[in-house]
Every structure is written in C-alpha cells, then in structure tokens.
A and B are shown apart, each in its own frame.
Chain A
C-alpha cells in the first residue's frame, strides 16, 4: 500500500514538475520578450501556449550527433546525470498539507526524511559532476573552460548557500522541511524572512547563491555565449542538449520550492470552502509562491548584465561568505539568549 501510494505520488509530482519545467521556458521567453518590448512566442497555439510542445518535438526529431574524439561513455553519462540529479531533489520537498483519501492520511510530499534539507544540499553538490564531466569529455576548449568555470562557481556558491540556510535551521530546530514549514504557518508575519526568524539577510544570500548555483544571469559565466559559444554544453545537440536545458530549469524550480519552504512560509495561506478546496488550496498557495519566485528569476535575467569572472568569485568569497557567517553567529546568539 505504501509503495503504491509513493509510486502514484512520484508519477504525479514528476509529471507536474516536467510540465512546469516546459512552461517555465515559455514563461521566460514571454516575460523577457515583454521586458524588451517584444511579444515573445505567439504563433503556436493561443498566446503561444503550445510552444513548449513544439520545442520538445523539434528537439526529439533532431539528429543526435556525437562528435568524434569525445570520451564516449562520459559524454553520454553527463547529461543523464545532470537531469537525474535535478529531478531527484524534488522528492523531499513538501508541497502541501495532509490530505485524506479513503480514510488514509497522506502527506503531500514524496518522502519526509528528517535530514531532508541536507539531502537537497547533497544532491546539489553532486550535480557539479554532470557539468564537469560534460566539459571534460567533450574534448573541446570552450566546453572545458565553461565546465571549469561552472564547477568553480558552483563549489564556491554552495558554501554561501549552505551557510545561509544555517540561520533558518537554528530558528526552526529541525532539518525536516515539513517541520520548518509548520513552524511558519498562521500569517505572513510568521514567515522566516519576517517575524518568524528575521532571516532577511539569509534570504538575500540564498537568492544570490541560488542564481549562481543554477548558472543564471547575472552569474551565467559558464555559458557566456560571447566568449565560450555555449560553455559546457557546446558539443551537445538534440535531446542530450535538451537534458541539460531541462536540468537547468528543474534546478530553478527546486530552488524556488526551497525558497518558498524555507523563507516564505511554504503552503501557508487562507484556506476555506468544501473539503476538496481545503485540501488543494495549500498546494495552490505553494505553487503561487514558486511562480512568483520564478518570475523574479526571469525579471533579474532580463534586467541585469553579466558579471566579470573575478567579480563573481570575489562576490562569493569576500562578501557573501562573511555575511553568511555573521548572520549565523548573530542568529545563534539571539536564539541562545532567548533560551
């Protein structure tokens, strides 16, 4: 029974996640289009809504090219690894309250582990391999440079990202993401970013580190097209390229989910109406937060120019890291004095 319920949850969550990933691409093209005073895709379907399907079809039908002189096994492994890891971390993210189906209480989350947050961090830290191996196995200088940049960037910003979460953990007293959300329910002043933990500095650090971790503008040095063609996925085409693309957007969604869970109160929001609505409204509030966070992501992308590489590294090690350490110390001091 447990296996069956888990399986159903996995299928639904994966389907929704992949749909969100596809439509985030459309959202990005639309929003960036409007920021630049264009329309974005409009031709396929009403308002261009079927564009992701057309893109997917195009990428599947394209010729799957493997360049000569690549390290074949690793060249194939890299995109698979990237996508698999990007899709895995969604497993521990709670996206709603409990629902009752046929007398059984089911948590809206694939699995609730008591070290959930660490699992997400662990998966992110392994995600570097996808990028690093792609660059190295392609046997091309642009790919290698891109992957070295990406690797260095992800490793550096992971430190700031991890430390920014420590403050939240200290005020929450648990690693369980469900536990962290349950502490923030009951109005926006209970959110960790506001009165729940006063973690606005941590949120700022998290935001910056999250942009860098997912290789997004203004930190998209690994794929800076003016210098590196396309960075670590220069030599990839068709579905293998699509897998990198999907893993980037899946990572964005994960980061947005994590931000909502850790700082913005998870699924908290007004709940009313019949039982069905009561079960589904939290999910809606959660998805709304994720949507707004993704819009912020795209807005930043459409507005800010790219950093220089040394600025990027200095920003992480000389600014974000000390700030994160200070935030951790002050938070733990306050928590200790309150006890």
Chain B
C-alpha cells in the first residue's frame, strides 16, 4: 500500500517535472526540472527493486551529466527564452504520434498480460554481483566495444577543444 502510494507519488512528480521542463522560460529552471525527473525516475527504479540501477541513475544523470548542463548554462549566463508559437508539424504529427505510441504500449501490456504487481526491494536480479556477471560474462564484447566508443568520443572532444597554435 505504502509502496503503491510512493510509486504513484514519484510517477506524478516525474511527469510534472517533465511538463515543467517544457513550460519554464528560464534554462536553469528547465535544467532543475530535468534533475527532478531523473531523481524521481531513480526513486521508481528503487521501488521496482533495482537499487543498483537507481543509484547509478542518480550518480550518472543527476550527479554528472546535469551538473555539466547547469554549469554550461551558468557560464553562458543564458537569459530567458522567448516563447514561440511552436512548429505546426510538431502539433499535427506529434500529438497523434504520442497517442498512437501510448496506445501501442498499453495494447502490448494488456495483450501479453504482463504481471502487474509490486516486488520487494532486492527481489529482482538487480544486485551488483548479478549485473557484474551479466556485464563481464554474457555481454563482455558489447560492453568493451561501448567503452572503446566512449574513449574515442573523449579523444574527439579533446582534439576539438584544443586551440590551434600559430
């Protein structure tokens, strides 16, 4: 009962944060709303029994990536955004697309009769050893390839950021 209440609370918070992100005029307020979204997503993961994923979500997204966002906004001293009417294509195709997508997800869930219930924390295979076993045994090659990809991205950033001497 408490579990369900908390889950709904964070779900509402998450959606509210996402809407606020679009509605706010100031970039900093938008960035902070995004942090709220990330944080409540982490809480949802926690309630679904995936503590490790929840904490990693906080450390990586809320703690690292969003800090970078906030810093860039602060350093650029970005002012208030001007509100435009929005593109018409987004309204014509976006809203029906969203409805179709949500309908599809709902249909699949109902069709396959996915067990909708609550789990106890730690009941699912989300503990660090299990994840490590998956990463370093079953998915070792994709994992290593991804890390090489990230390394390339870092080197690319260094090369691009380096000033030309001359």
Q: Which residues of B contact A144 (CB under 8 A)?
A: 74
A115 contacts B by Cβ under 8 Å: yes
A122 contacts B by Cβ under 8 Å: yes
Q: Which residues of A contact B62 (CB under 8 A)?
A: 122, 125-126
Q: Which residues of B contact A208 (CB under 8 A)?
A: none
Which residues of chain A in 110-159 are interfacial with respect to chain B, using CB atoms and an 8 Å cutoff? 113-115, 118-119, 121-122, 124-126, 128-129, 132-133, 135-136, 144, 147-148, 151, 155, 158
Interface string of B29-65 (1 = CB under 8 A from A): 0001001000100000000000110011011001110
Which residues of chain B in 111-166 are interfacial with respect to chain A, using CB atoms and an 8 Å cutoff? 122, 127-128
Q: Which residues of A contact B28 (CB under 8 A)?
A: 71, 74, 136
Shortest Cβ distance from residue B2 to the other chain A in the assembled complex, whole angstroms: 9
B67 contacts A by Cβ under 8 Å: yes
Which residues of chain A in 79-125 are interfacial with respect to chain B, using CB atoms and an 8 Å cutoff? 113-115, 118-119, 121-122, 124-125
**In the bound complex, what is the Cα–Cα distance between A175 and B51 (angstroms)?**
11
Q: Which residues of A contact B56 (CB under 8 A)?
A: 118
Cβ-defined contact, A132 with B74, below 8 A? yes
B75 contacts A by Cβ under 8 Å: yes
Shortest Cβ distance from residue B135 to the other chain A in the assembled complex, whole angstroms: 15
Chain B, interface SS category: helix
Cβ-defined contact, B58 with A114, below 8 A? no
Cβ-defined contact, B122 with A114, below 8 A? yes
Interface string of A154-175 (1 = CB under 8 A from B): 0100100000000000000001
Cβ-defined contact, B52 with A115, below 8 A? yes
**In the bound complex, what is the Cα–Cα distance between A151 and B74 (angstroms)?**
11
Residues of chain B at interface, number, CB under 8 A: 21
Interface string of A47-82 (1 = CB under 8 A from B): 000000000000000000000000100100000000
Q: Which residues of B contact A114 (CB under 8 A)?
A: 51, 122, 127-128
Q: Which residues of A contact B35 (CB under 8 A)?
A: 129
Cβ-defined contact, A125 with B74, below 8 A? no
Cβ-defined contact, A115 with B63, below 8 A? no
Cβ-defined contact, A132 with B70, below 8 A? yes
Q: Which residues of A contact B75 (CB under 8 A)?
A: 148
Cβ-defined contact, B67 with A115, below 8 A? no
Cβ-defined contact, A128 with B67, below 8 A? yes
Other A-B pairs, 14, CB within 8 Å; known A125-B64, A126-B39 = A74-B32, A113-B51, A114-B127, A115-B51, A115-B52, A118-B52, A122-B55, A125-B58, A126-B63, A129-B70, A132-B67, A132-B71, A148-B71, A148-B75
Per CB-CB distance, the 5 closest pairs between chain A and chain B, nearest first, are A125-B63, A122-B58, A118-B55, A115-B51, A122-B59
**In the bound complex, what is the Cα–Cα distance between A147 and B71 (angstroms)?**
10
Q: Which residues of A contact B58 (CB under 8 A)?
A: 122, 125-126
